[in-house]
Amino acid sequence: MMHVERILVPADGSAESEAAFAWACDLARYYDAEITLLYIVDTTKLGSLGLPGGPEKPEYFDHEQGKKILQTLCEKAPEGISVHTVTVYGDPGPDIVRLVDKHDINLVVMGSRGMGRVARWALGSVSTYVLHRASCPVLTVKADAQA
C-alpha cells in the first residue's frame, strides 16, 4: 500500500478548512509528509459579480485575500512540518482533481463544506466533486472536529 508523502489541503478561509488543515498537520507528522495548502480563486463566479448569489466585491477575485488566508493557516502549523502554499485561478472542484493527478498527491484533506451560502447540504459542492473524482483517498473534516 502506498505511503502518503504529499497531502493536499484546499482552504478557503472557512472553519471547516481550518479543521481540515489541523488534521492534515497531524497526519503529516505521522507520515512525515509535506502539505500543499491550496487557495483557489473561483473564476466561474466572474459573471455573477454584483448579482444576487454572486460575490459583491471585485476583491473576491484578488489573490490577496487568498494569501492572507493561507498565511494565517501556515502560522498555525506546528514545528517541523513543511507546508507549501499555492494560489490557483480556476474552477475549484476540477482544479483540485487536476492538481492531484499532476503532482501525484497521495491524500486530500478538506472541509466537508466551505464558504458557500447554501447551508442545507451536509457536504459542499466542491467537497462532493473532489470526493467522487479524485484518484487518491479523500478525508473530509467537519468544523467542530477536535484536532
Partner 1 sequence: MAIQRILVPVDGSVEASAAFEKAMEIARLADAEVIVAYVMDIRKKMSTFEKLTGEKEACTQDEVEEEARPVLAPFRKKAGAGSRIRCVAAAGAPSLTITALAHKLDVQLVVMGNRGSGGMKRFMTGSVSQYVLENAFCPVMIVKNPEAMKKKKEKEEWEEQFYPSRLAERNGKKNQ
* Footprint of partner 1 (CB under 8 A): 1, 3-4, 22-23, 26-27, 30-31, 112, 122-123, 131-132, 134-142, 144-147
Distances (CA, A) of 113 to 16, 64, 69, 141, 144: 6, 22, 16, 9, 12
3-state secondary structure of 80: coil
Nearer to partner 1, 72 or 135 (CB): 135
Nearer to partner 1, 14 or 112 (CB): 112
Rounded Cα distance, 39 and 17, in Å: 11
Q: In angstroms, what is the minimal distance from the CB of 24 to partner 1? A: 10
Q: In angstroms, what is the minimal distance from the CB of 12 to partner 1? A: 18
Nearer to partner 1, 75 or 144 (CB): 144
Rounded Cα distance, 52 and 70, in Å: 27
Q: In angstroms, what is the minimal distance from the CB of 104 to partner 1? A: 13
* Cβ count near 60 (within 10 Å): 14
